Structure 1
Amino acid sequence: MLIRRAELAGGAVGDVLLADGVIRAIGQGLAADGAVTLDAAGGCLLPGLHDHHMHVAASSVALQSVPCGPPEVATADDLARTLAEAPGSGWLRGVGYHDSIAGLLDRHVLDAMRSDRPVRVQHRSGRMWFFNSAGIEALLAAGLPLPAGLEQRDGAWTGRLFDEDRWLRDALAGTPPPFAPVGAALLGWGVTGLTEMSPANAAAEADHFAAQQAAGALPQRVLLAGSLALAGLPERPDLARGPFKLHLHEHHLPDWEATLQAMRQAREQGRGTAVHCVSEAELAFAIGLFDELGPAAGDRIEHGSVISAGLLEALVRLELPVVVQPTFVAVRGDQYHADIPAADWPSLYRLASLQAAGLVLAAGSDAPYGPLDPWAAMRAAVERRTAAGTPFGPAEALTPEAALALFLADPRDLGRQRRIAVGEPADCCLLDRPWQQARSRLEAGLVRGTIVGGALRFVRSEPAPGQRPIA
């Protein structure tokens, strides 16, 4: 493929030749007999965006589920109406629930809302499910050994399931979903790669990813994080083994020595450890682990939701990259302001102060627990406002260039920024205008084309749904 008249770094306009999966040449008036030609007409050519933290299977299923949390659902009456009006038969699956709507749900509350079919509602943290009585009966009928996370009180099932997604999938006799809806959405936003961060990922999940890529359902390159069972995953250009995922829970922190041993085993596999840290206690625990072992290539902190001054100093000392989710400020900031003491607000979802301290940052969506659109994340990083328009740590705002850079980090080396340069992979995101015009918009509708491995996989000739027309 030959891309003509593309804006490159620094504002220069030139031609870019893609061949054999890499950028072969950059210059003026390049020729390539028989090559597909795309006229960029001065639009900015970027490396393809990379979502550094998401959950593909859950995102695919969420697209077929009923929203049960803000902003669509804000009250218990909203939830009852949403569940009552949901069409179909069999399992009714809801996602995105938050305690502010009706507290911690149980089967009695859900029975009052919908009792004629089995219902399961996922908390937006991803850590728990709530079932009505019909749902509990369906799970018990599977005949599997019951997990510790299926809650009982006074000998009766409450309808709550904590941290047992693998057991739930087995009980439902579920098969992994097709990834085509997610792959297509990401292409439309210029995303050519993703890091899949589900902690239970093992050989079966790797096989499903490979099959979906082979079928064309998931065009993106994938860095697959997960369990230690990924040790034997063969290296492929489009599916590579990522870090060991350690998912901490503040109230049930794992055994110290066993966790250190798991991290050592990951290092023997040539993998770092990615530690889920959404509270101060979890981050302190993670820092203690890295202090004892010393940092290694591939180690990283996921989320970094709460980073106090003292913990920031430790992160800098250990040179640990942090993978952030800027969109949470926009979609959850009002709830944070309501639930969290004002004295703690400066520690929440920091960005600019982390970069100023010298930390390496990258960004992911955490989809489906956050919006999948990377342009919404960039906009949130720049604006730092809640859904109600309230400023949220404005001193933490990034420039548009710094926000974009969060999605241009090399997934295998977060400290390296990918570039449009000879020898780099031919994965590109073409905007419909120069960067100086695009930087004030940061909308998905700016993406004109997406190229993966030198092949044009998405092209837009009209504004995306919901986007303003582009002049």
Structure 2
Amino acid sequence: MLIRNATLLDGGVVDIRVGPVISAVAAELSAGPGEPVLDAGHGCVLPGLHDHHVHLRAAAAAAASVRVGPGEAEDAAALAGILAAATPGADGWIRAVGYHDAVAGPLDRQLLDTVSPPLPVRVQHRSGALWTLNSAALREIGLAGHPDGRFRRGDGELVLPDNPPSLAAIGEQFGRYGVTGVTDATPGQGRGDLDDIAAARLSGQLPQRVHCMAPATLAHDEIAGLTLGPAKMILDDDSLDLDALTAWIGAARDRDHPVAVHCVTAAQLVVTLAALRVAGTHPGDRVEHAAMVPDDLIADLADLRVTVVTQPNFVAERGDQYLTDVPADEHGQLWRVGALREAGVRLALSTDVPFGAGDPWAAMRAATTRRTRSGAVLGEHERVSAHTALTMFLGSAEQPDRPRTVAPGTPGDLCVLRARPAEVLARLDADLVAATVIAGEVVYRSVR
């Protein structure tokens, strides 16, 4: 395919011949016989965006769920209204996501029974770490006598029927955003889970390139349609174990495999950095989220050369709640970008969809403005330029912190925008995406 009149981010206007890889970039190229031509109309053309931390199956399930967070429900009555209006899935269950205690307080089966219809209802906390089931749902899974209906991540008690949702809708959403590749950061996936994702990609249900975090035992497996990335470990403050984490990292090192450690508190980050110092580092090591980074840990992150993949979109999405829940003297530690970048920390951005909204352009805007929904500024010193925020979605799966360019020999994945670079950087808006190209094929084209 030939893309004409493309303005690159540096302002140069070129034609681009693209297939599985970009074969030519020049001031003027002639179309071959029967070659499809897309006229960019001097709009900006970028390497396709890569969302460096997503949860594919959870995102697909969330797309078929109702949202019940503080932005959707202001109190118990509003929560009851949303659940009453919800359409049950094919299995007869209502699935709700995004709950926070600010809506109606800590949720248990008794409270959920008072606000839910007489159907099985499952509500996921916005952290992704807690599920609450009402009495009808508990009866459905044979746990009618459960005391409170609350199930925490990793306790092994909650086992629900596995009805994997289609990934087609989330693939379409990525296309609308100009996303051509994603890194699935779901922990604990085995070979069967990865095979299912690969099948969705090979069938065309999910056109984006997919890089999946995988256990070190699968490090050298080849799965058509996927590439495999670091082993993932989620930490919880109430079970932090430096020796166990160090041993787990060491086992990955024995297989020359990188690790990715989920760190949302300062304590988790301290333990992770200590374990990496003892076990040794790998060029592909990552810290996921780094939601809280005290000043005295920034130099350690830079020194260890670990890549931080963070989500400033949570400043916009949850910032007002942080202003209430997080001590004022810790506000400056939240979702840092600017200070990490200035210190030389390897850094990339992502959305954490479905736990974040999933729009990378909104994440970029949040990185530049640091504004909450109410307009408050949270961490003004952590702002970065629009250009910097954009390029932190242009890294490859294997090297998230190194922006790709539109050049011969690079993958044929492009985001075509309907505006020139100056307007793109001024707006950082998904509405500007005119077309998304993956391996030389248009997978999304705006009707505008």
> Paired residue for 1:422?
408
> Paired residue for 2:433?
447
Match of 1:163 among 139, 153, 157: 153
The Cα shift of 1:383 comes to 1.3
User: Match for 2:28: what amino acid?
Assistant: G
The Cα shift of 1:235 comes to 5.2
User: Match for 2:104: what amino acid?
Assistant: A
Contact 1:202/1:229 (8 A) holds in 2: no
> Paired residue for 1:385?
371
Contact 1:195/1:223 (8 A) holds in 2: yes
Structure 1 residues 400, 346: CA separation in 2 closer, same or farther (over 3 Å shift)?
A: same
The Cα shift of 1:447 comes to 0.5
Residue aligned with 1:194, SS: strand
The Cα shift of 1:229 comes to 4.8
Alignment of 1:110-121 (within 5 A): 110-114=112-116, 116-121=118-123
Residue aligned with 1:457, SS: strand
Residues in 2 aligned to 1:10 and 1:88: alpha-carbon distance in whole angstroms: 49
Residues in 1 aligned to 2:304 and 2:285: alpha-carbon distance in whole angstroms: 10
Match of 1:215 among 176, 188, 203: 203
Contact 2:68/2:97 (8 A) holds in 1: yes
- TM-score (structure 1 length as normaliser): 0.91
Q: CA RMSD in A?
A: 1.7
1:186-212 Cα offsets, whole Å, 9 max, x none, are 001100000000111111111111110
> Paired residue for 2:85?
85
Residues in 2 aligned to 1:57 and 1:165: alpha-carbon distance in whole angstroms: 20
1:289 aligns with 2:275: yes
> Paired residue for 1:37?
37
> Paired residue for 1:24?
23
The Cα shift of 1:172 comes to 2.7
Structure 1 residues 334, 18: CA separation in 2 closer, same or farther (over 3 Å shift)?
A: same
Contact 2:5/2:42 (8 A) holds in 1: yes
Match of 1:337 among 309, 316, 323: 323
Residue aligned with 2:52, SS: strand
Residues in 2 aligned to 1:141 and 1:396: alpha-carbon distance in whole angstroms: 47
The Cα shift of 1:87 comes to 3.4
User: Match for 1:91: what amino acid?
Assistant: W
Residues in 2 aligned to 1:461 and 1:139: alpha-carbon distance in whole angstroms: 45
1:273-316 Cα offsets, whole Å, 9 max, x none, are 11100000000010111111222111011101110111112112
Which runs of no fewer than 5 residues in structure 1 stay unpaired?
143-154, 463-471
Alignment of 1:318-329 (within 5 A): 318-329=304-315
The Cα shift of 1:167 comes to 6.1
Alignment of 1:327-366 (within 5 A): 327-366=313-352
The Cα shift of 1:141 comes to 6.2
Structure 1 residues 302, 287: CA separation in 2 closer, same or farther (over 3 Å shift)?
A: same
Residue aligned with 1:346, SS: helix
Alignment of 1:37-76 (within 5 A): 37-76=37-76
Residues in 2 aligned to 1:209 and 1:165: alpha-carbon distance in whole angstroms: 25
Residues in 1 aligned to 2:217 and 2:99: alpha-carbon distance in whole angstroms: 31
Residues in 1 aligned to 2:88 and 2:193: alpha-carbon distance in whole angstroms: 29
Residues in 2 aligned to 1:191 and 1:297: alpha-carbon distance in whole angstroms: 25
User: Match for 2:440: what amino acid?
Assistant: G
Residue aligned with 1:450, SS: strand
Residue aligned with 1:302, SS: strand
Contact 1:206/1:233 (8 A) holds in 2: no
Contact 2:216/2:230 (8 A) holds in 1: no
User: Match for 1:80: what amino acid?
Assistant: A
Residues in 2 aligned to 1:454 and 1:351: alpha-carbon distance in whole angstroms: 33
Alignment of 1:219-234 (within 5 A): 219-231=207-219, 233-234=221-222
User: Match for 2:307: what amino acid?
Assistant: P
Alignment of 1:266-305 (within 5 A): 266-305=252-291
The Cα shift of 1:106 comes to 0.9
User: Match for 2:269: what amino acid?
Assistant: L
1:317 aligns with 2:303: yes
User: Match for 1:458: what amino acid?
Assistant: Y
Aligned length: 445
Contact 2:51/2:349 (8 A) holds in 1: yes
Residues in 1 aligned to 2:168 and 2:155: alpha-carbon distance in whole angstroms: 22
Structure 1 residues 165, 427: CA separation in 2 closer, same or farther (over 3 Å shift)?
A: farther
The Cα shift of 1:164 comes to 4.1
1:436-459 Cα offsets, whole Å, 9 max, x none, are 121111111100110000111111
Residue aligned with 2:427, SS: coil
Residues in 2 aligned to 1:280 and 1:232: alpha-carbon distance in whole angstroms: 33
- Structure 1 vs Structure 2: percent identity of aligned residues? 41
Structure 1 residues 165, 182: CA separation in 2 closer, same or farther (over 3 Å shift)?
A: farther
Contact 2:83/2:117 (8 A) holds in 1: no
Structure 1 residues 240, 424: CA separation in 2 closer, same or farther (over 3 Å shift)?
A: same
Which runs of no fewer than 5 residues in structure 2 stay unpaired?
none
Q: 112-121 vs 359-368, which deviates more?
A: 112-121
> Paired residue for 2:15?
15
User: Match for 2:15: what amino acid?
Assistant: D
1:337-370 Cα offsets, whole Å, 9 max, x none, are 0011111111111111110111111111111110
Residue aligned with 1:439, SS: helix
Match of 1:244 among 220, 223, 231: 231
Structure 1 residues 286, 165: CA separation in 2 closer, same or farther (over 3 Å shift)?
A: same
1:205 aligns with 2:193: yes
The Cα shift of 1:88 comes to 3.7
Contact 1:203/1:233 (8 A) holds in 2: no
Contact 1:201/1:230 (8 A) holds in 2: no
The Cα shift of 1:166 comes to 7.2
Residues in 2 aligned to 1:184 and 1:165: alpha-carbon distance in whole angstroms: 34
Residue aligned with 2:300, SS: helix
> Paired residue for 1:148?
none
Residue aligned with 2:17, SS: strand
Residue aligned with 1:437, SS: helix
1:151-201 Cα offsets, whole Å, 9 max, x none, are xxxx85211001149764xx3321321100000000011000000001111
